[in-house]
Structure 1
Amino acid sequence: MFAAIHRYRGFIIDSVKRDFQSRYQTSFLGAAWLVLQPVAMIAVYTLIFSELMRAKLAGMDGPFAYSIYLCSGVLTWGLFTETLNSLVNVFLSNANILKKLSFPRICLPIIVSASAFINFLIIFSLFVLFLVVTGNFPGWVFFEMIPVLLVQMVFTIGLGIILGVMNVFVRDVGQFVSILLQFWFWFTPIVYVSKTLPEWAVDLLRFNPMATIIGAYQNIMLYRTSPDWAALAPIAAISVVLFFLAWRLFRKHSADIVDEI
């Protein structure tokens, strides 16, 4: 796999560039849409929930506390959903390329994952700039985001490839994922604080891997503390297992995918 990826690295890089350009080259505002959509979402949630949730953020009374809490969740959740949605539809969306060109099919998941990650880096860099300007940059603990991001991407890519292969053979999977993500978002403490939930719901959050991952970002950005590595460890293990299952499933059905689409 790695040899094939290295051999086709030029194809992957060029495809990522084309994907980014094709999204915004015919748009008047161009890449500004990357910023406008999450900013609009954050502004709406801040307007509605800020006063209610500010009191729930223990020991964090600053004017930007809830905004930092919200941005930490919304932006990283956006990376999760964009990557997952792209992977679920990656083979169907690129049916013509798969039929006409000969290249390692594993390149497609890499291309869409890399595109989503670059989009995330652009908008997240602006968030980091906001933290620096307002004097809320968390310091060295910020770099503990890197392993958390790695766990999130491995989890998302593994889950996304599995669902993407399934979606080729059962097209309902793509529709199901769209609905699932709506419920999943509200079952993850992004807009609200987990303290606002009843005790039984808080207990259920332990089975939501994204709740732990998002909570790690919020700890770093808002509370300036290290993530709960003990809670992240089983999610990291699950992510690795998902990734290898995805690879095996992909290899097994790689030839069938082209015939099915």
Structure 2
Amino acid sequence: MRVSHFLPGIVRDVLRFRAFIAGSVRRDIEAQFKGSVLGGAWVLIQPLAMISIYTLVFANVMRNRLAGVESVYGYSIYLCAGLLAWTFFAESLGRLQAVFVANANLLKKATFPRICLPLVALGVTSFNFCVISGLFLLFLLVSGNWPGWVIVGVLPALAVQVLWTLGLGMLAATVNVFFRDVGQMVNVGLLFWFWLTPIVYPAAVLPAWAQGWAWLNPFAVFVHHYQQVFVYARLPEQSAWLALACVALVGLALTWFGWRVYQQRAPEMADEL
């Protein structure tokens, strides 16, 4: 008996439609640049513009607040580390929440596992993330700020971040089919979430009582891992790993809940769309 018979249904469906997923990802990536003079440069222009603006506005104010950082690029690296994680998350969630609505015609006419569509959306944003990450890593190498082997400390945080993204994305995508205000709510929620996370500012500028509460923000945990590795070239402390483990457990529960809501409402989607 083939090994694939033992795989859960969802994994088996993904493997069976892997060519469709890969082709759709490639087509959506090409569509980003079609008819554009600058082409792939637009993947970099927006995050670079954000980094430039925040650096110009906050660099002089925040540079002295980064304890133990002597590099002239210290604040820029701190900012890039947080924005690297945030841009991937925000772009992925933005695409995921609209994935079923945006592909309504395809869902009505074609028969395929709907789980393929969120994977396509995540594949496109993963490509953009890899491009931006490559540029950032090149900058660290050229500027003499390469963190060394501790860079592997980012991977667990990235994996849990993707888990959260899928969980929230599946939940938002399903609910958005029936309540179209979800897309606007997600955008507003991301705006507040961004400023509640120590990305532009270090956590040290917060009042002592607020610093403790900040750990309840899952994205603050992700960003802390990125910042410890890229800014301080060290692995996060034990308490940060414990916090990441707790966030991972919540992420698993969130992903399970998002999947259950999707399964329950999937039969009604075509009619609603």
Quick check: TM above 0.5?
Answer: yes
**Is the CA contact (8 Å cut-off) linking 2:153 and 2:225 kept in structure 1?**
no
Partner of 1:38: 47
| Number of residue pairs aligned between Structure 1 and Structure 2 | 261
SS in 1 for 2:177: helix
The CA distance in 1 between the partners of 2:249 and 2:137, in whole Å, is 29
Q: How far 1:199 sits from its partner (Å)?
A: 2.5
The alignment status of 1:251 with 2:251, answered yes or no, reads no
Deviates more, 1:198-207 or 1:222-231: 198-207
1:55 alignment counterpart = 64
What whole-Å deviation, never above 9, does each CA across 1:88-120 have from its counterpart, x for those lacking one? 111111111111111100000010011111110
**Unaligned regions of 5+ residues in structure 2, if any?**
1-9
3-state SS of 2:46 partner: helix
Give the conservation status (yes or no) of the 8 Å contact 2:101–2:177: yes
Q: Helix, strand or coil: the match of 2:262?
A: helix
1:116 and 2:135 are equivalent in the alignment: no
In structure 2, the residue matched to 1:142 is 151
User: What CA deviation, in whole Å up to 9, does each residue of 1:183-229 have, x standing for no partner?
Assistant: 11000000011111223332321221001111110001011121321
AA at the equivalent of 1:105: R
Equivalent residue number for residue 166 of structure 2: 157
In the alignment, structure 1 residue 188 sits paired with structure 2 residue 197: yes
Tell me whether 1:10 sits opposite 2:22 in the alignment: no
Give the alignment of 1:12-27 within 5 angstroms. 12-27=21-36
Looking at structure 2, the residues matched to 75 and 28 of structure 1 have their Cα atoms a distance apart, in angstroms, of 25
SS of the equivalent of 1:207 reads coil
Alpha-carbon distance in 2 for matches of 1:41, 1:82:
14
Structure 1 alignment gaps of length 5 or more: none
| Maintained 8 Å contact 1:65/1:222 | yes
Structure 1 stretches of at least 4 aligned residues deviating more than 4 Å after TM superposition:
none
Residue 234 in structure 1 maps to residue 243 in structure 2 = no
Contact kept? 1:16, 1:114, Cα under 8 Å: yes
Cα drift, residue 13 of structure 1:
0.1
1:81 and 1:112 map into 2 onto residues whose CA distance is: 12
Amino acid at match of 2:245: A
Cα deviation digits, residues 29-68 of structure 1 (max 9, x gap) = 0010111111111011101111111111111021010010
Contact residue 158 and residue 242 of structure 1 kept, 8 A: yes
* CA distance in structure 1 between the aligned counterparts of 2:40 and 2:85, rounded to whole angstroms: 18
Percent identity between the aligned chains?
45
Normalised to the residue count of structure 2, the TM-score between the two structures is 0.94
The residue matched to 2:144 in structure 1 has which SS? Answer: coil
Tell me the CA shift for residue 72 of structure 1. 0.3
Whole-angstrom distance in 2 between the partners of 1:114 and 1:231: 27
How many angstroms does 1:249 deviate by? 1.4
Q: 1:246 deviation in Å?
A: 1.5
2:114 corresponds to 1:102: no
TM-score under structure 1 normalisation? Answer: 0.98
Counterparts of 1:160 and 1:61 in 2: how far apart (Å)?
A: 39
Looking at structure 1, the residues matched to 152 and 234 of structure 2 have their Cα atoms a distance apart, in angstroms, of 11
| Amino acid aligned to 1:207 | L
Work out whether residues 167 and 173 of structure 1, in 8 Å CA contact, stay in contact via their aligned partners in 2.
Answer: yes
SS across alignment from 2:215: helix
**Which residue identity lines up with residue 109 of structure 2 in the other structure?**
K
What amino acid is the match of 1:242?
L
Q: Distance in 1 between matches of 2:186 and 2:210?
A: 22
Task: Give the superposed CA RMSD.
Answer: 0.9
State the distance in 1 between where 2:71 and 2:54 align.
Answer: 17
